[in-house]
């Protein structure tokens, strides 16, 4: 009965009134902000001519007001330290995530990390140390072939020349992986890691010529041919182990990496073939990971039964791969929709209250691990960066810098082997921190006030004045 009174009587503006209400509402707010008494308004224009003339005069006078000081500042621009006043008003203060009271800046951390990393790198590049124990390198431990391959792949993702060059140098000068004929007899898994490393630098950065170049290309082709044989065309998944029906997440992801890297080697690969594989695998993933939207460590025989363990490493790697795929191929909305789902999975199940991530999540017990693996945190930061989430990336980076114990500037996996620092982990963090610095700079450069804002305003002012004159004329004509 009386319910209706409260339900239907709220006025709904027409589309035109709506725009005007918002516009004038903001003016009211601005007036209050400036300590003036707000001028209330009638949304429906009753005296169009008068209000219009007032607006026109306002525009004119405000443009004069803006222009005069600007002109002055132009003429006095011989003095570079001219004050810039911004006319922008904000009406609420925003809280930001605490940036942590760490006196060490991010670029200082990068420096420390780099210094730390050099300890792993032997002078003749012959014998990299895979990890450090109790602050010292144990030279009797040798890095495995696969670790070198992954190390190269990771280094190639750094945009900075020094580390990027190191990877290229290792691949083409020191290790010369394509000459290693024994790869052909290795497992498919190792072959895939090898091919991914071989393709990690785009064609135009391959410093090989003549017979060397053709032998490199030949090795890549051989590897590609045997790897693509492992694609199961009925299930559209890849399996590196023969006659095993279980599908491993990691293997799918490496294959996706290879497909992306392949597109930067136009002479070696057929783009359409790569895209076909990419599409098929993504469609399969799209179907089979709908359960909770992340990728489980492995899928059992019928691909709809999952291992309940979801490792962050897989999610993070898949996230990077999906962004690269989206970039390299025309996949419609497929990659993007997977990215969204994966992102929400990561937030839902793997992000902890302290802004770090769980290294794994168990879907059956609904428990995450409490292990903070430095590699995972590095990946997490890079995931945030891909989504342009500066504050979250910052926060995870700060958590990482505060929580994981730092010795000699290196970040050590806490909780498990407390005293060991792994080469790959440190590089992952290095790449993440450097990307974060880049993102910060990008954000800063788009927000800084400058003279450009004045020049940017000019055409707008001219346009407003022009439009006002035009509308005035139209009105006169109508009369």
Partner 1 sequence: MQTVAFHSYRGGVGKTLLSVNTAVQLAKFGKKVCLVDFDLRAPSLQSYITSESVFSLDQNDFVSFTEFLIGKGSPEEVINPTKLENFYVVVSDIEILQNKSQTRSKLTQHGEGRILAKLFEFIRYCNSQEFEFLIIDCMPGVTYRSLDALVVSDKIMIITRPVKSEITGLGLVISECYSKLDDTKFYAIMNQIETIQDLKNQPNQMDLKIAQDNLKGIASTLKNNNLEIDILHSFRRVPFVTERIYVLLEDPHPFTKEIQEFCQKLISL
Binding site for partner 1 (CB under 8 A): 2-3, 5-7, 9-13, 15, 18-19, 21-26, 28-29, 32, 38, 40-43, 91-95, 97, 290-292, 333, 336-337, 340, 344, 347-348, 351, 353, 355, 389, 391-392, 395
Distances (CA, A) of 252 to 54, 230, 236, 249, 411: 66, 11, 10, 5, 29
Shortest distance in whole angstroms from residue 14 CB to partner 1: 10
Distance CA 67, CA 454 (A): 9
Cross-strand partners of 298:
248
Longest CA–CA span in the chain (Å) reads: 95
| CA geometry: angle 248, 252, 254, nearest 5 deg | 115
If DSSP codes are grouped into helix, strand and coil, which group holds residue 420? strand
Q: CB nearer to partner 1: give 26 or 443.
A: 26
Distance CA 339, CA 35 (A): 47
Shortest distance in whole angstroms from residue 29 CB to partner 1: 5
Shortest distance in whole angstroms from residue 366 CB to partner 1: 8
Eight-class DSSP state of 9: -
Which residue in this structure is represented by tokens 């010292």?
Answer: 136
Shortest distance in whole angstroms from residue 444 CB to partner 1: 18
Q: CB nearer to partner 1: give 62 or 336.
A: 336
Residue 391: name the closest of 432, 430, 440 by CA: 440
Q: CB nearer to partner 1: give 20 or 147.
A: 20
Shortest distance in whole angstroms from residue 359 CB to partner 1: 18
Q: What are phi and psi of 320, to 5 degrees?
A: -60, -45
Shortest distance in whole angstroms from residue 41 CB to partner 1: 5
Q: CB nearer to partner 1: give 167 or 316.
A: 316
Question: Residue 273 corresponds to which tokens in the numbers above?
Answer: 């073939």
Q: CB nearer to partner 1: give 40 or 75.
A: 40
Distance CA 16, CA 468 (A): 18
Distance CA 377, CA 357 (A): 6
Q: Strand (E) positions, 75-190?
A: 131-133, 136-137
Which residue in this structure is represented by tokens 């990008």?
Answer: 442
Question: Residue 73 corresponds to which tokens in the numbers above?
Answer: 């500042």
CB neighbours of 11 closer than 8 A, spacing ≥ 6? none
Shortest distance in whole angstroms from residue 89 CB to partner 1: 11
Residue 440: name the closest of 392, 399, 401, 400 by CA: 392
Shortest distance in whole angstroms from residue 252 CB to partner 1: 19
Q: CB nearer to partner 1: give 44 or 473.
A: 44
Residue 362: name the closest of 295, 290, 297, 308 by CA: 308
Q: CB nearer to partner 1: give 359 or 392.
A: 392
Shortest distance in whole angstroms from residue 93 CB to partner 1: 6
Q: CB nearer to partner 1: give 48 or 210.
A: 48
Question: Residue 360 corresponds to which tokens in the numbers above?
Answer: 């794994």
Q: CB nearer to partner 1: give 251 or 343.
A: 343
Shortest distance in whole angstroms from residue 357 CB to partner 1: 12
Torsion of CA 154, 155, 160, 165, to 10 degrees: -160
Q: CB nearer to partner 1: give 213 or 389.
A: 389
Distance CA 296, CA 290 (A): 11
């Amino acid at each position: 009965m009386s319910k209706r009174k409260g339900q239907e009587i709220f006025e709904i503006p027409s589309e035109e009134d709506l725009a005007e209400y918002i516009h004038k509402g903001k003016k009211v707010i601005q007036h209050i902000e400036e300590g003036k008494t707000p001028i209330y308004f009638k949304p429906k224009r009753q005296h169009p001519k008068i209000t219009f003339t007032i607006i026109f005069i306002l525009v004119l006078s405000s443009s004069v007001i803006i222009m005069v000081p600007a002109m002055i500042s132009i003429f006095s621009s011989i003095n570079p330290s001219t004050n810039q006043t911004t006319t922008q008003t904000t009406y609420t203060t925003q809280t930001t995530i605490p940036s942590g009271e760490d006196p060490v800046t991010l670029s200082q951390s990068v420096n420390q990390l780099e210094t730390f990393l050099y300890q792993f790198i032997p002078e003749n590049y012959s014998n990299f140390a895979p990890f450090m124990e109790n602050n010292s390198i144990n030279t009797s431990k040798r890095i495995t072939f696969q670790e070198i391959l992954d190390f190269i792949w990771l280094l190639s993702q750094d945009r900075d020349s020094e580390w990027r060059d190191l990877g290229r140098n290792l691949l083409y000068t020191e290790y010369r992986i394509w000459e290693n004929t024994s790869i052909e007899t290795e497992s498919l898994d190792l072959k895939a890691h090898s091919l991914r490393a071989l393709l990690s630098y785009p064609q135009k950065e391959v410093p090989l010529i003549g017979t060397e170049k053709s032998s490199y290309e030949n090795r890549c082709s051989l590897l590609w041919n045997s790897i693509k044989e492992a694609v199961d065309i009925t299930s559209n998944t890849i399996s590196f182990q023969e006659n095993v029906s279980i599908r491993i997440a990691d293997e799918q992801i490496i294959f996706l990496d290879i497909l992306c890297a392949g597109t930067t080697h136009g002479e070696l690969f057929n783009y359409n073939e790569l895209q076909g594989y990419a599409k098929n695998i993504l469609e399969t993933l799209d179907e089979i990971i709908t359960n909770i939207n992340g990728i489980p460590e492995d899928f059992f025989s019928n691909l709809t039964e999952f291992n309940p363990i979801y490792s962050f490493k897989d999610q993070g790697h898949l996230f990077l791969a999906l962004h690269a795929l989206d970039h390299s191929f025309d996949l419609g909305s497929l990659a993007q929709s997977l990215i969204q789902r994966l992102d929400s999975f990561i937030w839902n199940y793997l992000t902890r209250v302290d802004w770090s991530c769980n290294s794994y999540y168990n879907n059956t017990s609904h428990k995450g691990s409490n292990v903070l693996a430095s590699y995972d945190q590095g990946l997490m930061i890079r995931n945030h960066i891909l989504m342009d989430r500066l504050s979250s990336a910052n926060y995870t980076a700060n958590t990482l810098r505060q929580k994981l114990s730092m010795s000699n500037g290196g970040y050590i996996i806490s909780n498990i082997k407390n005293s060991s620092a792994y080469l790959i982990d440190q590089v992952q963090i290095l790449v993440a921190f450097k990307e974060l610095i880049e993102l910060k700079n990008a954000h800063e450069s788009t927000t800084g006030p400058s003279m450009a804002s004045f020049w940017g305003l000019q055409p707008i002012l001219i346009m407003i004045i022009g439009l006002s004159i035009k509308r005035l004329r139209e009105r006169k004509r109508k009369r």
